Amino acid sequence: KAGVTQTPRYLIKTRGQQVTLSCSPISGHRSVSWYQQTPGQGLQFLFEYFSETQRNKGNFPGRFSGRQFSNSRSEMNVSTLELGDSALYLCASSSRDISSGNTIYFGEGSWLTVV
Amino acid sequence: EDQVTQSPEALRLQEGESSSLNCSYTVSGLRGLFWYRQDPGKGPEFLFTLYSAGEEKEKERLKATLTKKESFLHITAPKPEDSATYLCAVQAAYGGSQGNLIFGKGTKLSVKP
């Protein structure tokens, strides 16, 4: 059974550009959430989607956005990139709404470097 | 405010030297406490979920326990391949952070042969 798949794995962008990251959850999983991981702040919650609806959002500026498609695949977008957006972006999926406490599996992440 | 604190930040053990990692938490009603292992450059790998005080779960050399205020990850006779960063996260049942995982900063474990 394939795990959570994230693409691309590595990318370098310039300040002011925008970036789109993609996530394919485990087959049958309908809940997808996104996290940002940095050495200083650790793992921080960005947002969660369930059945194409954003259910929860973390404390990040509006430059960070996401969406979920009918096949549960999800994308996140960061516009007007800043140097501080350099991080590992992790996608996680679970079989039910994560607010039910179900097991949450993570992908390998997308490493974003902003120069 | 919901928060998770892990200690120690780093732990060095000799192979076979058992020890415990601590995760203390403050949360508006605990829906679940999660332990993950993360290797450098990789995503977190799921280990355990604990739901109520008194619950224990085991997997190979690892055993996780839960009380109303903290969780312990006990490592028995560790091997070098157990070296990794161990992350603890809680999921709140109520409040603004309901549903999402709130992570601690992790404990970096190094096991020397």
Closest residue in A to B33 (Cα) is: A101
Query: Which residue has better confidence, B96 or A8?
Result: A8
Residue in B49, B99, B103 nearest the CB of A43 = B103
The pLDDT value recorded for residue A66 is 97
How many A/B residue pairs have CB atoms within 8 Å?
A: 62
User: What is the residue whose two structure tokens read 């739901």?
Assistant: B51
B46, A105: Cβ pair inside 8 Å?
Answer: yes
Chain B CB contacts of A55 below 8 Å: 99
Residues 6+ apart with CB under 8 A from A37: A43, A44, A87, A88, A89, A90, A109
Distance CA(A56)–CA(A38), nearest Å, equals 21
Residue in B9, B30, B42, B43 with CA at minimum distance from that of residue B89: B30
pLDDT in tens, B61-86: 999 999 999 999 999 999 999 999 99
Residue B95, pLDDT above cutoff 90: no
Residue in B42, B49, B98 nearest the CB of A108 = B42
- pLDDT beneath 50: ranges in chain A: none
- Residue A108 touches partner B, C-beta closer than 8 Å: yes
pLDDT in tens, B16-53: 999 999 999 998 888 899 999 999 999 999 999 999 99
The pLDDT value recorded for residue A77 is 98
The pLDDT value recorded for residue A19 is 98
Q: Are A80 and A63 in contact (CB under 8 A)?
A: yes
Chain B CB contacts of A42 below 8 Å: 103-106
Residue in A34, A96, A37, A98 with CA at minimum distance from that of residue A68: A34
B109 pLDDT band (50/70/90 cuts)? very high
